[in-house]
Structure 1
Amino acid sequence: MAPTWLDEQQQQTWRTWLAVTELLPRVLDAQLQRDAGITHAAYVVLAMLSETPDRRQRMSELARAANQSQSRLSHTVSRLEERGWVRREKAADDGRGNVCVLLDAGWDVVRRVAPGHVAAVREGLFDALTAEQAAALHDALTAVLDRLDPDHTQRQR
């Protein structure tokens, strides 16, 4: 069976998507390196923890919320622990899993860095779009995400 090639518009869209998914993370990483000496992946972990009750979350749930594999999250959390921003502890409810806790020093980092990060996201993505384009982008990305993760097991609930 012959492959169904992308048409010209699909090819252009695909290549544009590839460029954006390379360039936007670079912009966000540069801002976070400049402001806090951390990667975007590390910031996402801190931010996800900052939004949870008691600033703590099971590692498995945190991996899903941060869109990281368990292994990558473990490495990220290790680097954050070295800085004194988070700590791991056994889950109190069953003792089987681990919980990651955002410490006060990590919370201070989130509060300090968040305004610049939001500005970088706004400048790198949303300032280039009209309100209608932003809504259409949301709808399009949601449709793609629903196709990639139909049962919502790969993302935060």
Structure 2
Amino acid sequence: MGMDLCYYGVKEENIPDILDGNFFEEDFSDSEPQHTLRVFSVKELYYVYSGGKELEEEDFQGKNERDLFIEAFLGEVTVSSPPGDIYSYCTCKEKVKEIANFLNKIDMKDCFEKIEKFYSSSEEEEYIFDIENIIDRFNDFKEFYNELVKNNLGVFIYIS
């Protein structure tokens, strides 16, 4: 059984309360928009995007510097100090806009070409991908971020 990353659109004025723990016990299941990805899906998307790099546990814990791609999935380390839980993050609405613009420029099909070149020149065992599924998951994720921008929302991310 895997873990899920649950993404919830939140009003930016609620982010300080979330970080202070005042919203921590709140049920976000009715929040709109929302999105869920399996942790292994995020790792797979990162692997394809980065051309073969692995997403490490330290990335989830905020110990490594995050680029915009990782921030899209794991939030801003600088806006994340959840009470007693290293596995929940927030991203402010301005950063959400920046991330959405960044994601909209990415074509996962181009990323697969990088992977194909990597494996064609490598003696390692070939990584098997369900290309259409990965592209669909990434495009759904982009749509979620575009919905956040449209509604002028930040995002609360919880790993369950």
Q: TM-score, normalised by structure 1?
A: 0.29
Comparing both structures, which one devotes a greater share of its residues to helix? Answer: 1
User: Who wins on radius of gyration, i.e. which is larger?
Assistant: 1
Q: Which has the higher contact order (CA 8 A, sep 6+)?
A: 2
Q: TM-score, normalised by structure 2?
A: 0.29
